[in-house]
Structure 1
Amino acid sequence: MVDRKKSPKKTRNLEESRKEILEAAFWEIFTRSFQGVSVDDIVGKTSLTKGAFYHQFPTKLDLGYALVDEVIKPMTYSRWIDPLKEYENPIEGILAQLKNLIGKAKPSELRYGCPLNNLVQEMAPVDKGFKERLENALNYWIDGMEKELKRAKEGGYLKKDVNTRQAAHFVVMAHEGFYGMLKALDDPKAFDALYDSLKRYFATIRS
């Protein structure tokens, strides 16, 4: 006979274990790369056993896939898309978020780059499962950006002939380019030049 009273607690424990592993894995992989860390490295940053790890993730690749789907994809959206909804003019929100999340970031944070872009560069060329999930995460970001740019267009902030899909691709590419350049140059002042270039782009498509 199943003791149903214990089932919710067991479920919560499994959820908490999964969350703990993913949180530890995110930071280890973000700072050291996916191929640069081992399962032992990740388990060592948790309060769990290796058996608990493999109960959640049969392989390291399964962990990587879950990290993209359950952590990086929603995190990217919450950082770059959700805040735009607070702005009547989404263009202002895009620029404000860039300043807040990149322009005001510490050099010690910028040196690691973007979690999504790091995995795109490292794992998309070598693993099909990663490539599919990373493409999905990028398209999810682009879709959200396009939706906000359409709102800007409907509000009269963009020219009527602007292709919002193309613009969304460009803006997301610019975000990733910011991270890549600042990571490579190790020069926070370079942000101003990149930021001004994006402002000029927006000036060309504003109504």
Structure 2
Amino acid sequence: MRVKTEEKRQAIVDAAFEVFSEVGFEQASMSEIAARAGGSKATLYSYFQSKEEMFAEFMTAAAQQVIAAFELLKTSVPVRDALASFGKHYLVAVLKPQLLAVRRLAHQAGGRPNGGALFYERGPKRGWQMMAVFLQQLIDAGQLRSCNTAIATAHLRTLYEAELMELCLFGVPADTGSRNIAKVVQRAVDVFMAAYGSTVPAQTRNW
């Protein structure tokens, strides 16, 4: 009787990721994944009932890498420093080749129950909800003006990603070194604070 191991399970997930990234979910076959993992289809099925389940596994794992950046949010430091520190960790995480590949796959599999929606629900959605709570704490502390935190969060996410994400997704050469990421994040935070900083004259906006 074969003994299941976490090491073998991870090897299968890694092999599946390679195949999904190369040929897409629809064209990926259990035979090819088994060959990459160095085992048989029977071994694969002893760990996963289907390639859908396998796809969901690494989507969930990738989502957790995104969540990790949000767990660094702290209200105990000045708002600009907090947003800059988070932004650098966030961009470093999401611009990694593996995370970029997962995002591409999530877009391709957007209509599947265990596809893009699963990745979004378990990663980005949870993370940005944490950010909205964090922004509300900053508003309550008088460090940001009163606003719709869901919209402010969407603006902040877009600002962080504006300069580099699209280039990296399309494989266009881009400077993702730590020094440039720090500059990109600082510009994003500057624009965000210009719009939402507590020194902005208070006015009612239907946003």
**TM-score (ref. length: structure 1):** 0.69
1:72 aligns with 2:62: yes
Provide the rounded CA distance (Å) in 1 between the counterparts of 2:54 and 2:79. Answer: 35
Q: Supply the AA of the counterpart residue of 2:66.
A: T
| 2:174 alignment partner, one of 154, 171, 187 | 187
- Displacement after TM superposition at 1:42 (Å): 3.3
Letter in 2 for 1:150: Q
Q: Which is helix-richer, 1 or 2?
A: 1
Following superposition, the deviation at residue 47 of structure 1 comes to: 4.8
One-letter identity of the residue aligned with 1:83: L
1:205 aligns with 2:196: yes
How far apart, in 1, do the equivalents of 2:22 and 2:37 lie? Answer: 16
1:110–1:179 contact (8 Å) kept in structure 2: no
Distance 1:130 1:118 in 2: 11
Equivalent residue number for residue 77 of structure 2: 88
**3-state SS of paired residue (2:88):** helix
Distance in 2 (CA, whole Å) between partners of 1:205 and 1:183 is 29
Q: Which residue of 2 aligns with 1:6?
A: none
For the residues of structure 2 that align with 1:203 and 1:31, how far apart are their CA atoms? 42
1 CA distance for matches of 2:160 and 2:22?
19
1:144-188 CA distance string (max 9 Å, x none): 2212222322333211x1221212223334455542233333222
Could you say which residue in structure 2 is the equivalent of 1:117?
Answer: 103
**2:87 equivalent in structure 1:** 98
Root-mean-square deviation (CA, aligned residues, Å) is 3.7
Greater mean alpha carbon deviation, residues 38-47 or residues 59-68: 38-47
The percent of aligned pairs where both chains have the same amino acid is 15
Q: Which of 36, 44, 50 is residue 53 of structure 1 equivalent to?
A: 44
Deviations 1:5-51 (A, max 9, x none): xxxxx5xx344433332244345545765456443443344354332
Inter-partner Cα distance in structure 2 for 1:64 and 1:23:
11
Distance 1:149 1:24 in 2: 39
CA distance in 2, matches of 1:132, 1:198: 28
The whole-number CA distance in structure 2 between the counterparts of 1:24 and 1:85 is 37
Segments of structure 2 that go 5 or more residues without pairing to the other structure are: 199-207
Residue 42 to residue 94, structure 1, CA distance change in 2 (3 Å): farther
Structure 1 segments unaligned to the other structure (5+ residues): 1-9
Question: Which of 137, 152, 157 is the aligned partner of 1:172?
Answer: 157
- Give the 4+ runs in structure 1 shifted more than 6 A: none
Bigger mean CA offset, 150-159 vs 22-31: 22-31
Letter in 1 for 2:16: A
With over 3 angstroms needed to count, the CA separation of the structure-2 counterparts of 1:30 and 1:100, relative to structure 1, is farther
Q: TM-score, normalised on structure 2?
A: 0.69
TM-aligned CA distance change 1:162 to 1:182, over 3 Å: same
